[in-house]
Structure 1
Amino acid sequence: MTVCTVVGHVWATKKENSLSGLKLMVVREERGGRKTAPEYVAADLVGAGIGERVLVVSGSTARRACGGDERMVDSAIVGIIDSLEVDREQAGK
């Protein structure tokens, strides 16, 4: 799992059938509390919004979270972070 920040939405009226019904968001990975590039697209399974810090899984774990290997998904948002503590200090929001 990686810690990311949601930075945008993806609208795609025409897409592969297995993506139908999935909300797609643009996320940016964080490292050491800092945002790093590049951004990538993840299927949102938990109703995250722009600016929220989220947990993202990738690969076969993301496909399983989205309902099976038939889904054309490489990354999925599986949690919204309420707080994060690193080395006994609360990481900035």
Structure 2
Amino acid sequence: MSRRTTLVVVRRVAIALTFVIILLRPGVGQADVTTQLSDIDVLVVVDRTRSMAALDYAGNKPRIEGVRDDRPRSPMTCPGHGSRCSASARRPG
């Protein structure tokens, strides 16, 4: 093998090893992390176009009724039930 071929092989092996090390996600030390459930923002986006009038929810109901049935009833149903976990409706403008 020529010197150039050897360098190419060494470089490729080094790249592959670096990739494997990155995949292993090594970490140094330990840290305690606190979790705050009340700082979660929930954003629900609902399609309000004509396609939501299709009668394919529960056999013969409009899709928009399925959306209403699937979304949380109140902020209290969200994890942590913080004040930011609420639903609001806006028409596209």
TM-score (norm 2): 0.22
The structure with the larger Rg is 2
- Structure with the higher fraction of residues in helix conformation: 2
- Structure with the higher fraction of residues in strand conformation: 1
